[in-house]
Amino acid sequence: MDTNNTLNALSGFHSGAVSFAADIDQAFWINFWISIVLGLSVLAPMFYFAWKYRESNVKDEDISNSSHNTPLEIAWTLIPTALMMVLFYYGYTTMKTLRTMPAESESLVIQLEASKWKWKYEYPANKAGHVHKITSVYDKKIENVKRGLYVPVGQKVLLKMTAPLNDVLHAYYVPAFRMKEDIVPGRMTKQWFQADVAGEYVVECAEYCGTAHSYMYSKIVVMEQADYDKWFEGTEKSPFEDASAPQMTKGQSLYEDNGCAGCHSIDTDSILVGPSLKGIGAKYDTKYLADAITAPDKDIPEGFYPGIMPPFALPDADVAEIVKYMQSAK
């Protein structure tokens, strides 16, 4: 199966995995059928009268003015009004369900940051004091999302979402959850859900955000409580890390956590969003590489243009580790 095509198909519409999905579906279908009825109530008479009173079928002497019809006038006023009130009721109650946030004391509160072109999730500290910080990006090498948001089944999850001031608008969209919320640079927006069905669900950016918008995917993995607790109380980046994989250096970990791998290939000549970084350590010195991270518009590679890559405000020690990793790339 082509994973990318599966993601682009907005997978999830066929299922409802959260507690309020049924309410949203009900509101949608009520809205749909009432709209059909109201549309036909206008279009059907329009076509009927156009046919009945066509020029070839009516003589001038037969044309006369019509007086008002009180019962009909009352009917075409009250019936549409009643139907519109039904739409308002289901729209309002569904919106209220979505926008009434649960108390933080009874929720798993996740800090979510969206930026070009990655998602970052930060959890509360576990019992040992470790804070899981996960960067989720679409990896073109594996044609799938690398890491995501991990939550337990049946738990209320409260997302506090923002984007850096120098970034653009994004939207956190989960088709299977019937959930979409805009993420605005410098502002905090919130959304919540309670997933009742274990599984893996696609997350997409539903607000055009630039060059790699079509690859700004993530995923929500809903796990059984015991499996979630086992992972949460540990230190692994995800519950599905390959234990036999070579240990990452700090620089490689920072490179992935900051979404560099989503835009730059470091072990091949492939151009993803930005230029390949293969062999870059042999071409440029440490100062140039550090500037490429913190002030990327200072020297634009040929064939690219300013503004694609945002500047990274990282501690000097982290920049040095990333540079060291870039220099070690063959």
What domains can be seen in the chain, in order of their start residue?
21-99 (1.10.287.90), 104-232 (2.60.40.420), 250-328 (1.10.760.10)
Q: Tell me, what's the pLDDT at 3?
A: 43
Give the model's pLDDT for residue 246. Answer: 62
Tokens standing for residue 219 = 């995923």
CA distances from 310 to 53, 93, 114, 325 (A): 65, 40, 13, 20
- Residue 1 pLDDT level (bands cut at 50, 70, 90): very low
| Diameter of the chain measured on Cα atoms | 95
pLDDT mean over 68-87? 86
**With contact defined as beta carbons under 8 Å apart, do 193 and 18 qualify?**
yes
Here the tokens at position 307 are 């503004």
pLDDT of residue 13: 57
**Which 3 state secondary structure label does DSSP give 276?**
coil
Comparing CA positions, the residue from 157, 176, 154, 175 lying closest to residue 112 is: 157
Residue 6 has pLDDT above 60, yes or no: no
> What is the C-alpha to C-alpha distance for residues 36 and 49, in angstroms, rounded to an integer?
20
Summarize pLDDT for 200-218 with one digit per residue, the tens.
888 999 889 887 888 888 9
Which residue in the block uniquely carries the two structure tokens 């994973």? 3
pLDDT in tens, 127-150: 988 889 888 887 777 677 878 899
The model's confidence at residue 161, banded by pLDDT at 50, 70 and 90, is very high
pLDDT, the chain, mean: 81
How much is the average pLDDT of 6-12? 50
Strands 199-205 and 144-146: unpaired
Residue 123 has what pLDDT? 93
User: How confident is the model over 251-308, as pLDDT tens digits?
Assistant: 777 777 777 777 777 777 777 777 777 777 777 778 877 877 888 777 777 777 777 7
pLDDT for residue 159: 93
Quick one: the chain helix, strand, coil %, rounded to 5?
A: 40, 20, 40
Residue 167 to residue 185: CA distance in whole angstroms: 6
233/128 Cα distance (integer angstroms): 7
